A and B are shown apart, each in its own frame.
Chain A
Amino acid sequence: MSEFELDARRLLCPMPVIKTQDRIKGMNSGDQLTVTCTDPGVLEDIPAWCRINGHEVISSRQQDSEIHITIRVRNE
């Protein structure tokens, strides 16, 4: 299992979702990706995208104006 990070700060939805999607494409099942964002829209959109595509949000926390969402990847 590897851990990765993605900086999606200042991007507005759906760009953070698109960046997450494209990044996860090259990852393996079990890998973790932590996305850092500033658009609160991601609190809805990234979990929705994960539910649709079978990935798991394992944590989501807000610190000052930044949001960190960690995803466990499940690629077929």
Chain B
Amino acid sequence: MSHTPKAVALISGGLDSLLAAKVIQDQGVHVEGINFYTGFCVEGHTHAIRNKDKQKAKRNNALWVAEQLGIKLHIIEVIEEYKDVVLNPKHGYGQNMNPCLDCKIFMVNKAQAWAWMEENQFDFIITGEVIGQRPKSQRKDTMPVIAKESGADDRLLRPLCAKNLPATLPEREGWVNRDDLYDFHGRNRKPQIALAHKFGFTDFAQPAGGCCFLTDQSYSSKLKDLWSARGERTYELDDIMLLKVGRHVRPQPHYKLIIGREEGENNYLSGYRNEFTSIKTISHKGPLALVDGKVNDADLAEAAAIVARYSQGRDAESVEVEITDRDGVIKRQRFEPMPPPEVEQSWHV
């Protein structure tokens, strides 16, 4: 019986990974998907946290892609290992805190470690990379770097731009037909859209920045603020999740407030009330805020005045506020809301 070649496809949930997998699947290759959860992924959470998105389908795009293709998807949690990629990227960062080149090397390496495992026995790896698509990580000269440093070498195939690259093992072995691969390049998305239509895909995801929050400017500045306030570059999953939620206001170097912007965020933040001092307005409808840092009574009074300013009592003479410490000890007090001009723009992280 002839051997059916097996490929594992890196599935981010975006259009390119969908197309790359489809092109190879259509050549008779058995394809399964792999998706890595780093903690920074755009998928899921914020949709779940924010009420305003409630009407939108809260789908996970990687799962959606797998379902469109009818392939299995293996989701692998890499939060701990990924820290080194974010904290010490050998090839540096992109425009924001996104270490895309190191990230790709890491993911292809992980995919390959998984794929070559005895119980899996895959023959090659595919990604949706396109030469010239991203200025830092997807260039003609970075493609061989990813292949080499990940260890995948010529078992790494990029079906969407393969014709612009030297033939890989799957092409040389005849597992795939090079003539039926593509030569996409550059930032123009039209060829991908046309191919998607040809395959009959609609409603696909096209994330503007990239597949994770690290490409987001405001998220990146919150991450840098976290590190400079702590005096060290470290993070835990809760830290990076909280950076996705609420308004972050730092009135003093030693503490910041995370203020919910609507009910969904308030609910989410309330799950952290055992780990942070929290402030909630009582006399008026308003946000729940977490206090991150070591604070004294004067700091708490300042913090409460700021939280009151974001409540419906912003124009009232005073707002009653409930301050709960980590042990659940509750203090109720009235505070004058801080007038907007005094909540300085520079405090917004």
Contacts and interface: CB of A to CB of B under 8 A. Distances in A.
Interface stretch (B55-63, B250-258, B334-342): B55-63
B239 to A, nearest CB: 14
Given A41-B60, A52-B63, A13 B44 contact: yes
A45 B37 contact: no
B148 to A, nearest CB: 30
Interface in A25-76: 39-41, 43-45, 48-49, 51-53, 65
Interface stretch (B64-72, B149-157, B284-292): B64-72
Contacts of A41: 44-45, 47-48, 58, 60
Contacts of B49: 12
B153 to A, nearest CB: 29
Contact of A44 (B57, B62, B73): B57
A39 B48 contact: yes
Given A12-B241, A14-B43, A15-B77, A48 B64 contact: yes
A45 B271 contact: no
A17 interface: yes
A52 B75 contact: no
Contacts of A17: 60, 63, 75
Query: What's the interface size class on B, roughly?
Result: 20 to 34
B75 A14 contact: yes
Nearest to B264: A40
A13 B43 contact: yes
Contacts of B44: 12-14, 39, 41, 45
Interface in B51-107: 57-60, 62-64, 66-67, 71-77
A65 B270 CA distance: 13
Interface string A14-28: 110110010000000
Given A52-B67, A52-B71, A45 B60 contact: yes
Contacts of B271: 10
Contact of B48 (A13, A49, A65): A13
Interface in B32-47: 37, 41, 43-45, 47
Nearest to A40: B48
Contacts of B45: 12-13, 39, 41
Interface of A: 10, 12-15, 17-18, 21, 39-41, 43-45, 48-49, 51-53, 65
Given A45-B60, A52-B72, 4 more contacts: A44-B57, A45-B59, A49-B75, A52-B71
7 contacts: A10-B271, A18-B37, A44-B59, A48-B59, A48-B67, A49-B63, A53-B73
